[in-house]
């Protein structure tokens, strides 16, 4: 998401709200990190969903995903692959990844940071060229090792303290799209 400033302008009893997009409101460090990104890794529950899980006696039956986050992955697809990583063994995550053309969906992953060497080799990238968005303790170690770490606005405090960027949007409400738009803005 591009940072913006809102100005209210009054002319002849009419008030206009003008939003001015300004790249300079994003720090030079964040801009530099965004320019380097060649691979995006995303947690699922709490990032692409609001963290809620619906269960029946049959097990997990539903997750709610944000359409704009899915569109962001499609927009990134040609230039920056996105990999979904979930600690849950969820067929729903596999189905969602396929629908939105994520490069991969890795499920049942408890220690996400262990994946980095294999992913770097497979996608020919360095840790510094990877963005990761996560919201909870199981994302902490991987977020410390990547080039650009991001959390939704409702990520836990410990994650917010190490994140390079804290989204204005909450998990499941467009946080992934906000991060993707930010990266794409500085990659162009």
Residue 54's pLDDT is 83
> In the β-sheet with 104-106, what is the strand arrangement from edge to edge?
104-106, 82-85, 39-43, 130-133, 148-151, 165-166
What separation in angstroms does the CA of 59 have from each of 46, 48, 54, 89? 19, 20, 8, 11
Residue 17's pLDDT is 55
Residue 16's pLDDT is 55
DSSP 69-90: HHHHHHHHTTTS-EEEE-SS--
Q: How do the domains of the chain map onto residue ranges?
A: 26-187
pTM, entire model: 0.85
Per-residue tens of pLDDT for the chain, all 188 residues: 445 555 555 555 665 555 445 545 688 999 999 999 999 999 999 999 999 888 888 877 889 999 999 999 999 988 999 999 999 999 999 999 999 999 999 999 999 999 999 999 999 999 999 999 999 999 999 999 999 999 999 999 999 999 999 999 999 999 999 999 999 999 87
User: How is domain 26-187 classified at the architecture level of CATH?
Assistant: 3-Layer(aba) Sandwich (3.40)
Q: Which of 187, 161, 165 is nearest to 176 (CA)?
A: 165
Can you read off the two tokens belonging to residue 85? 């990583």
User: Within its chain, how far is the Cα of 101 from the centroid?
Assistant: 15
Residue 59's pLDDT is 75
The four Cα atoms 72, 75, 80, 84 give a dihedral, to 10 degrees, of 40
Residue 20's pLDDT is 47
126 phi/psi in degrees, rounded to 5:
-100, 160
Residue 1's pLDDT is 45
């Amino acid at each position: 998401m591009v940072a913006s400033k809102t100005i209210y302008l009054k002319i002849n009893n009419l008030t206009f709200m003008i939003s001015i997009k300004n790249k300079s409101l994003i720090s030079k460090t964040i801009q530099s990190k965004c320019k380097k990104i060649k691979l995006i890794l995303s947690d699922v529950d709490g990032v692409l969903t609001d963290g809620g899980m619906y269960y029946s006696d049959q097990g997990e039956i539903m997750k709610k995903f944000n359409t704009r986050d899915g569109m962001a992955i499609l927009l990134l697809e040609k230039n920056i692959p996105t990999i979904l990583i979930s600690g849950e063994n969820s067929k729903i995550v596999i189905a969602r990844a396929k629908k939105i053309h994520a490069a991969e969906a890795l499920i049942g992953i408890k220690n996400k940071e262990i994946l980095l060497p294999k992913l770097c080799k497979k996608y020919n990238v360095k840790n510094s060229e990877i963005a990761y968005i996560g919201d909870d303790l199981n994302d902490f170690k991987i977020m410390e090792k990547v080039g650009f770490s991001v959390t939704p606005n409702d990520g836990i405090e410990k994650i917010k303290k190490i994140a390079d960027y804290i989204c204005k949007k909450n998990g499941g409400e467009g946080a992934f799209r906000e991060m993707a738009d930010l990266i794409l803005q500085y990659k162009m």
